[in-house]
Amino acid sequence: MVLVIDIGNTTCRFGLFKDDEILAVWKIITSAQKTSDEYLILINDWFLQNNYKKEDVIGVVISSVVPNVMHSFINAANKAFNIAPLIVKAGIKTGIFIQTPDPKEVGADRISDAVAGYYLYGGPCLVLDFGTATTYNLVSPDGIFIAGVTAPGIQISADALWSKAALLPHIEITEPPSILTKTTITSMQAGIVYGHVGAVEYIVKKMKEESGYHDAKIIATGGYAQIINKVTDIIDVYDPMLTLRGMKIIWDKNYAKK
């Protein structure tokens, strides 16, 4: 089995693979305050409660956009499995070529998304990840990462709205029944959701136009992708496990033959 750990700004997702099958996925809150021993306890408890054996894990992959938690996670993985984890970053074997001025600037999550988008669904593809930030990652027909766009995520936009306007409440981020809203809550939902959809559709359109990849497959993943997918027809594939699948593909490319 291979364990992949996707460390995001808000949550960390763990995915346990057997061959290409995802056996289980679980989440914890990302916290820079936890020590490696605390993360070790969480990992040990999860394996015990779900009747999986740690000794069956032959590989660990970590993708992180939060540098200050890496030390704790790497040490926890070493202690739990006696394995040095593979860290997703530019320079390891990924199967794609990052054609940017400084490949090291491309985040680990974006690399994993691009790899999964290309190898699972083919190129050209444009992978949209709706997380804390919304990212757009364009991969050419021959597997070259050629461009990326980063925008405020839907939650960031919502947080900014109610933190800067004293009379606006915290609301559930969901599609309202109509854009012709009549209450404060539904008006906020309409602005947040449909405003984000408008930005997504325009950015996708411009990236297709300027790249010339008009037939690029649009693939969506991330925590808020399901909401966006429901209200636009621009998305071809919705895959909530895309990032985790990309990390497993990267592990295979580095270690499977060995």
On the CB side of 71, how many CA atoms lie within 13 Å of its CA? 5
Contact between 139 and 118 (Cβ < 8 Å)? yes
Q: How far apart are CA 139 and CA 59, in angstroms?
A: 27
Instruction: Write 166-171 long-range contacts (CB < 8 A, 24+).
Output: none
Contact between 157 and 196 (Cβ < 8 Å)? yes
Q: How far apart are CA 174 and CA 163, in angstroms?
A: 19
Q: Edge-to-edge strand order for the sheet containing 21-29?
A: 21-29, 11-18, 2-7, 59-64, 86-87
Contact between 103 and 90 (Cβ < 8 Å)? yes
Tokens of 68: 């200050």
Catalytic, out of 109, 113, 129, 239: 109
Tokens of 3: 């364990």
Assess whether the previous peptide bond of 124 is cis (omega < 30° from 0).
Answer: yes
Q: How far apart are CA 161 and CA 57, in angstroms?
A: 44
Could you confirm whether 6 is annotated as catalytic?
no
Closest CA to 113 of 102, 121, 105: 121
The residue assigned the tokens 């949209």 is: 128
Contact between 70 and 11 (Cβ < 8 Å)? no
Q: What amino acid positions are annotated as catalytic residues?
A: 109
